[in-house]
């Protein structure tokens, strides 16, 4: 596995912090992160996404050492050594395995793509509002500003929670 950058680690830690509190306050389910394994299908390899969310409706998929089925939301942060894997292999495995919402964050290119799986089983690029805000389908009520990912330093967790009216 290629090493991850300090920026990758910071971004992952930020997402885990804000999303975990959001999920807990709203009692939506469970937030997990790498190295926790997700197995989406018998013919697909297990993966350990950077961040994964399981809604209460699918919490029975959660086993002691892995998730047996797709998470409701998977987030991958691209590292230079993982670009082909994240954009190619993982993208198609998550799509085929039934992950309904997939965020792909590329810190080097300062790009974030939000994908929603359609009724046809194919990912479609989700709309982002003109102000850069994306509304999650997997986490009801959650919205996120895509420019938060590129701020240095990253936004303070308490500031984000305040904007979300959680504190």
Alpha carbon of residue 40 to chain centroid: 15
Provide the 10 A C-beta neighbour count for residue 57. 10
CA distances from 6 to 87, 90, 107 (A): 21, 22, 11
Provide the 10 A C-beta neighbour count for residue 109. 9
Task: Kindly state the tokens that stand for 106.
Answer: 């590329």
> Is 158 in contact with 41 (CB distance < 8 Å)?
no
Domain spans of the chain? 6-156
On the CB side of 106, CA atoms within 13 Å amount to 15
> Is 117 in contact with 101 (CB distance < 8 Å)?
yes
When the pLDDT of each residue in the chain is averaged and rounded to a whole number, the result is: 94
Q: How much is the pLDDT for 4?
A: 73
Task: Kindly state the tokens that stand for 73.
Answer: 């939301």
Alpha carbon of residue 54 to chain centroid: 11
Q: What is the pLDDT of residues 137-166, one digit of tens each?
A: 999 999 999 999 999 999 999 999 999 999
The structure tokens 């090493």 sit at: 3
Distance, in Å, from the CA atom of 159 to the CA atom of 157, rounded to the nearest integer, reads 5
Per-residue pLDDT of the chain (167 residues; tens, 9 = 90+): 556 788 889 999 999 999 999 999 999 999 999 999 999 988 888 999 999 999 999 999 999 999 999 999 999 999 888 888 899 999 999 999 999 999 999 999 999 999 999 999 999 999 999 999 999 999 999 999 999 999 999 999 999 999 999 99
Distance, in Å, from the CA atom of 154 to the CA atom of 11, rounded to the nearest integer, reads 8
Q: Which CATH superfamily is domain 6-156 in?
A: tt1808, chain A (3.90.1570.10)
Q: How much is the pLDDT for 41?
A: 87
């Amino acid at each position: 596995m290629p090493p991850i950058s300090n920026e990758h680690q910071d971004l992952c830690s930020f997402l885990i912090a804000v999303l975990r509190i959001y999920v807990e306050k709203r009692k939506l389910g469970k937030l997990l992160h790498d190295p926790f394994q997700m197995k989406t299908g018998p013919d697909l390899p297990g993966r350990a996404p950077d961040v994964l969310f399981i809604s209460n409706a699918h919490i029975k998929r959660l086993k002691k050492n892995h998730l047996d089925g797709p998470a409701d939301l998977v987030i991958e942060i691209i590292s230079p050594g993982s670009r082909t894997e994240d954009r190619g292999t993982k993208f198609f495995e998550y799509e085929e395995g039934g992950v309904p919402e997939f965020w792909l964050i590329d810190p080097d290119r300062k790009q974030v793509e939000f994908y929603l799986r359609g009724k046809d089983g194919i990912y479609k690029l989700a709309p982002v509002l003109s102000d850069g805000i994306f509304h999650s389908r997997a986490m009801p009520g959650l919205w996120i500003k895509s420019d938060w990912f590129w701020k240095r330093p990253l936004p303070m967790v308490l500031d984000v929670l305040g904007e979300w009216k959680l504190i």
